Amino acid sequence: MLAKIASFVVLLLIHVASSSADGGQFVYQGFAAANLTLDGLAAVTPGGLLALTNATFQTKAHAFHPLPIHFLNASSSAAPGARSFSTCFVFAIVSAYDRLSDHGLAFVVTPTTNFSAAKAGQYLGLLGAINGTASDRVLAVELDTIMNPELRDMNSNHVGVDVNRMISEQAQPAGYYDDAGGGAWRGLQLNSRKPMQVWVDYDGQAGQLNVTLAPVRVPKPKKPLLSVPVDLSTFMADTMYVGFSSATGVIVTRHYVLGWSFSLDGPAPPLDFSKLPALPRLGPKPRSKVLDVLLPLATALLVAAVLAAFFFMVWRRRRYAEVREDWEDAFGPHRFSYKDLFHATSGFKERNLLGIGGFGRVYKGVLPASSLEIAVKRVSHDSRQGVREFVAEVVSIGRLRHRNLVQLLGYCRRQGELLLVYDFMENGSLDKYLHDPQMPTLSWHERYKIIKGVAASLLYLHEDWEQVVIHRDIKASNVLLDHEMNGRVGDFGLARLYDHGTDPRTTHVVGTMGYLAPELVRTGKATPLTDVFSFGVFLLEVACGRRPIDRDDHNSRVVLVDRVIEHHRNGSILDAVDPRLVGKYETKEAALVLKLGLMCAHPLPNLRPTMRRVVQYLDSDQPVPDPSPSYMSYSMMSMMQNDGFDSYVMSSKPSMTSIGVSSVSVLSEGR
Ligand SMILES: *[C@@H]1O[C@H](CO)[C@@H](O)[C@H](O)[C@H]1NC(C)=O
Ligand SMILES: *[C@@H]1O[C@H](CO)[C@@H](O)[C@H](O)[C@H]1NC(C)=O
Ligand SMILES: *[C@@H]1O[C@H](CO)[C@@H](O)[C@H](O)[C@H]1NC(C)=O
Ligand SMILES: *[C@@H]1O[C@H](CO)[C@@H](O)[C@H](O)[C@H]1NC(C)=O
Ligand SMILES: *[C@@H]1O[C@H](CO)[C@@H](O)[C@H](O)[C@H]1NC(C)=O
Ligand SMILES: *[C@@H]1O[C@H](CO)[C@@H](O)[C@H](O)[C@H]1NC(C)=O
């Protein structure tokens, strides 16, 4: 029992500090332990907030200090006057919708706590009509958040003093005179969901009621918001209750009072903000700080990882992307994967570049699985049609086996690109040895061996294989040298790629300037004999160490065939032999090669020997018949000019040419 009383006293000391015997002073730092008189929707939350309203539609709420206050000075000798009083409280109006709220709340001084006759809505649960009755005697300080024309409201955010009627004696928009800012006016939004403090001070002697508003923690402004002259001496009953009143309309709004103090005859005790209960948070419970930091971080990392994986896959797909169609299954073993070729050539690095030819770049590589050395030629092609025929041809060519052919191992297809895989030829191409002064000179013996090898491979292509294969681009740069300095013909059939898929109405001639047979330029039709022509030029090139079309000392163009014919006409054909050999050559063989060269490069195709005949000449040392006198009067140069060559025989360097019927275009090297 004693303990109970003691604890009650302690509670009383903490929460209800009563200094005067009549209960003229109290402080509520939160209402958890308070014994308020509540009605309607009013409730005290477990956290200690006085919640005047909740969501219910058109209902009232009241909360009063349980004990009545003696407002009249009984000891007054003259007519009993109303005592001075002072109160302050912290409130918050929390709307479900930002800046949009229902009716406000009011601080009330009232003779009774029975408000059953009062109306909700704009009446704030204060009165039953605009004018109160004589028995109502309600003094209110309203914090109004709805503009009601009937009640002559100035706006939807004002503070007013009501003396027993709903129309305010005086009202002001919510705000305060900021002492820190030199007394500047600062507007406040009552329903801003932020706690604010209100002071109501009545001076009984002066009959003046002051109302002051400020954001919480801002010291009481010196200048009140409202200063209303009002004589309460006849208005006040002896005992009156103080409290709060509120009412709901249609919008979900909560009116909270966080703390409250009251005093008669002196300033209300200040509130300790640190002890006030916290407002409930709007919306869902906040995540912890850790989650606040970690969750976005983890999400960002996950997204980044997924993106990275995605881009890596796309990159990988792109990097190794190939074009593969059903029909290619038949060529299975000849198909290389791009990935293998990519890795074999260290990603087609510059340092693996062997050279740039007419059809594309050639890279050296080593197949990881077999450590086989390969050369990979990247040929760009735009034509979609014709690829199938070409691949078929490549594959069938891949079945060609001859010791003087560069072995084609297989292919790979990518968008707009074809990769051809060949045996790697250690000693590179023949034309370097013939025309590059930096390179060692080939001996006659080596040259003769190369010539015989190339002739043998051409015979194989033309006659000894199951079908006739026309090389179309016989020239020194297409003859490669293996480790034994054997000549091996490469790039066969490649010219066909440019044949396929082009407009059939125009005839494209593909080959290299200086090696093209005259009838090929005219008709565009490649035959074994056009190969023989190129081979003839090649023979002269090897024997003379000169390019098919060259410049003389006076910088005028000289066609090699014409030069050799000239020497022959002068009866000294051997003068045409490469001076770099310094006379060290087999006279008989050299004469044979030169005459055979002229014979093969005969302008009339039917006067050229077949490759079989050529090989017989080379093998049997049979003397080659002298060129006919008519041939001797030909000038290859004038012939070429007649054929319209002149416009593009400008370059002394051999280059790929593509000659259309109406247009002449030069495929630049590196294409
Ligand atoms: C609370 O107030 C009521 C009257 O409103 C009274 O009956 C009751 O005893 C009070 N309780 C406490 C604990 O003060
Ligand atoms: C509103 O308050 C009343 C009275 O305390 C209660 O019965 C009702 O459930 C509350 N409504 C809501 C929505 O909280
Ligand atoms: C009551 O009135 C008398 C005379 O008017 C005054 O002296 C006294 O201070 C008043 N008491 C209070 C508590 O206001
Ligand atoms: C409250 O006042 C009404 C009249 O306005 C009356 O009918 C009712 O009985 C009163 N209630 C209490 C509890 O006094
Ligand atoms: C309310 O009282 C005022 C005088 O204080 C009077 O002018 C007005 O007509 C009254 N209004 C109503 C609706 O009774
Ligand atoms: C009310 O405010 C006025 C200034 O506007 C001031 O002179 C007066 O003392 C104040 N009264 C109270 C009771 O605070």
CATH of the domain at 650: 1.10.510.10
> Do residue 445 and residue 398 come from a single domain?
no
pLDDT on residue 611: 93
Which ligand is closest to the CA of 57, given by its number?
Answer: 2
Which ligand is closest to the CA of 59, given by its number?
Answer: 2
pLDDT on residue 113: 92
Taking the centre of ligand 2 as the mean of its atom positions, its distance from the CA of residue 54, in whole angstroms, is 6
Any atom of ligand 6 within 6 Å of the Cβ of 224: yes
> Do residue 451 and residue 568 come from a single domain?
yes
The answer to the question of residue 295 being in a domain is no
Taking the centre of ligand 5 as the mean of its atom positions, its distance from the CA of residue 151, in whole angstroms, is 11
Helices (H) and strands (E) in the chain, counts: 14, 30
653 is in an annotated binding site: no
Q: Which of 137-141, 310-314, 494-498 has the highest mean pLDDT?
A: 137-141
* Dist CA 145 CA 151 (whole Å): 13
> Do residue 257 and residue 361 come from a single domain?
no
Reading the block at residue 620, the tokens are: 């049997």
pLDDT on residue 103: 84
Query: With 50 as the cut, is the pLDDT of residue 37 above it?
Result: yes
The answer to the question of residue 149 being in a domain is yes
pLDDT on residue 36: 93
Query: In terms of residues, how long is the chain?
Result: 671
Query: Mean pLDDT throughout 514-536?
Result: 87
Taking the centre of ligand 3 as the mean of its atom positions, its distance from the CA of residue 197, in whole angstroms, is 29
Query: With 70 as the cut, is the pLDDT of residue 625 above it?
Result: yes
Counting atoms of ligand 5 from 1, which one is nearest the CA of 129? 13
Any atom of ligand 4 within 6 Å of the Cβ of 116: yes
Q: Which residue has the higher pLDDT, 631 or 222?
A: 222
The phi and psi torsions of 347 (rounded to 5 degrees) equal 75, 30
Q: What is the pTM of this model?
A: 0.49
> Do residue 410 and residue 455 come from a single domain?
no
Any atom of ligand 6 within 6 Å of the Cβ of 261: no
pLDDT on residue 6: 45
Q: Write the secondary structure of 259-271 as one string of H (helix), E (strand) and C (coil).
A: EEEEEECCCCCCC
Least confident of 71-75, 136-140, 201-205: 71-75
The answer to the question of residue 304 being in a domain is no
The answer to the question of residue 284 being in a domain is no
DSSP string covering 148-211, please? -GGGT-S-SSEEEEEESBSS-SEEEESEEEETTTTTEEEE--TTSSS-EEEEEEEETTTTEEEE
Any atom of ligand 6 within 6 Å of the Cβ of 210: yes
Q: Which residue in the block uniquely carries the two structure tokens 């209300």? A: 268
> Do residue 357 and residue 490 come from a single domain?
no
pLDDT grade for 14, boundaries at 50, 70 and 90: very low
pLDDT, averaged across the chain: 81
In the chain, the number of structural domains is 3
Query: Mean pLDDT throughout 156-167?
Result: 93
pLDDT grade for 197, boundaries at 50, 70 and 90: very high
Determine whether 340 is an active site residue. no
Q: Which of 365, 97, 71 has the alpha carbon at shortest distance from 242? A: 71
Query: With 80 as the cut, is the pLDDT of residue 669 above it?
Result: no
Any atom of ligand 6 within 6 Å of the Cβ of 482: no
Counting atoms of ligand 5 from 1, which one is nearest the CA of 167? 1
Reading the block at residue 656, the tokens are: 């790929």
* Dist CA 68 CA 64 (whole Å): 9
Query: With 90 as the cut, is the pLDDT of residue 444 above it?
Result: yes
Which ligand is closest to the CA of 152, given by its number?
Answer: 5
Query: With 90 as the cut, is the pLDDT of residue 516 above it?
Result: no
The active-site residue out of 473, 499, 531, 562 is 473
> Do residue 485 and residue 348 come from a single domain?
no
**Residue-wise pLDDT tens digits, 544-591:** 999 998 887 888 888 898 889 889 888 888 999 999 999 899 999 999
CB 87 within 8 A of CB 200: yes
Residue 584, H or E segment: none
Instruction: Give me the torsion for CA of 504, 509, 511, 515, rounded to 10°.
Output: 150
Q: Which of 118-132, 351-365, 494-508 has the highest mean pLDDT?
A: 118-132
| Residue 25 three-state SS | strand
Which protein residue has the closest C-alpha to ligand 6 atom 13?
203
Query: Mean pLDDT throughout 101-129?
Result: 88
| Rg for the chain, CA atoms, rounded | 55
Any atom of ligand 2 within 6 Å of the Cβ of 63: no
pLDDT on residue 503: 41
Taking the centre of ligand 1 as the mean of its atom positions, its distance from the CA of residue 236, in whole angstroms, is 25
pLDDT on residue 670: 27
> Do residue 182 and residue 239 come from a single domain?
yes
The answer to the question of residue 296 being in a domain is no
Which ligand is closest to the CA of 40, given by its number?
Answer: 2
Counting atoms of ligand 5 from 1, which one is nearest the CA of 131? 1
Counting atoms of ligand 6 from 1, which one is nearest the CA of 201? 13
Which protein residue has the closest C-alpha to ligand 4 atom 7?
116
Query: With 50 as the cut, is the pLDDT of residue 524 above it?
Result: yes
pLDDT on residue 233: 84
> Do residue 439 and residue 387 come from a single domain?
no
The answer to the question of residue 511 being in a domain is yes
CATH of the domain at 320: 3.30.200.20
> Do residue 80 and residue 206 come from a single domain?
yes
The domain of 212 spans 2-275
Which ligand is closest to the CA of 74, given by its number?
Answer: 3
**Residue-wise pLDDT tens digits, 333-348:** 677 888 888 889 888 8
Q: Residues with Cβ within 6 A of ligand 3?
A: 73, 75-77, 83, 265
CATH of the domain at 247: 2.60.120.200
pLDDT grade for 217, boundaries at 50, 70 and 90: confident
The answer to the question of residue 286 being in a domain is no
**DSSP assignment, residue 219?**
P
pLDDT on residue 164: 92
Kindly report the CA angle at 528 between 522 and 531, in degrees rounded to 5? 75
| Residue 657 three-state SS | strand
**Residue-wise pLDDT tens digits, 462-493:** 888 777 878 888 889 889 999 999 999 987 65
Any atom of ligand 1 within 6 Å of the Cβ of 113: no
Which protein residue has the closest C-alpha to ligand 2 atom 10?
54
Q: Residues with Cβ within 6 A of ligand 5?
A: 130-131
Any atom of ligand 1 within 6 Å of the Cβ of 207: no
Which protein residue has the closest C-alpha to ligand 5 atom 12?
131
Instruction: Give me the torsion for CA of 542, 544, 550, 554, rounded to 10°.
Output: 170
**DSSP assignment, residue 478?**
G
Residue 350, H or E segment: none
> Do residue 493 and residue 443 come from a single domain?
yes
Query: Mean pLDDT throughout 405-430?
Result: 85
* Dist CA 367 CA 373 (whole Å): 7
The last residue of a domain, from among 424, 439, 464: 424
Kindly report the CA angle at 424 between 421 and 430, in degrees rounded to 5? 115
Taking the centre of ligand 6 as the mean of its atom positions, its distance from the CA of residue 227, in whole angstroms, is 7
The last residue of a domain, from among 409, 424, 439: 424
Query: With 70 as the cut, is the pLDDT of residue 56 above it?
Result: no
pLDDT on residue 671: 25
The answer to the question of residue 291 being in a domain is no
**Residue-wise pLDDT tens digits, 594-620:** 999 999 999 888 889 999 999 999 988
> Do residue 656 and residue 507 come from a single domain?
yes
Query: With 50 as the cut, is the pLDDT of residue 667 above it?
Result: no
pLDDT on residue 590: 93
Taking the centre of ligand 6 as the mean of its atom positions, its distance from the CA of residue 266, in whole angstroms, is 13
Most informative mutation of 123, 127, 131 for ligand 5 (most atoms within 8 A of CB): 131
**Residue-wise pLDDT tens digits, 360-408:** 788 999 988 788 899 998 887 765 556 666 676 666 666 778 889 888 8
Any atom of ligand 6 within 6 Å of the Cβ of 208: yes
431 contact partners, CB below 8 Å, separation of at least 6: 475, 476, 477, 479
pLDDT on residue 193: 86
440 contact partners, CB below 8 Å, separation of at least 6: 433
Which protein residue has the closest C-alpha to ligand 1 atom 14?
35
Taking the centre of ligand 4 as the mean of its atom positions, its distance from the CA of residue 136, in whole angstroms, is 13
> Do residue 397 and residue 503 come from a single domain?
no
Query: With 70 as the cut, is the pLDDT of residue 438 above it?
Result: yes
| Residue 61 three-state SS | strand
The last residue of a domain, from among 408, 424, 440: 424
Strand partners, 39: 62
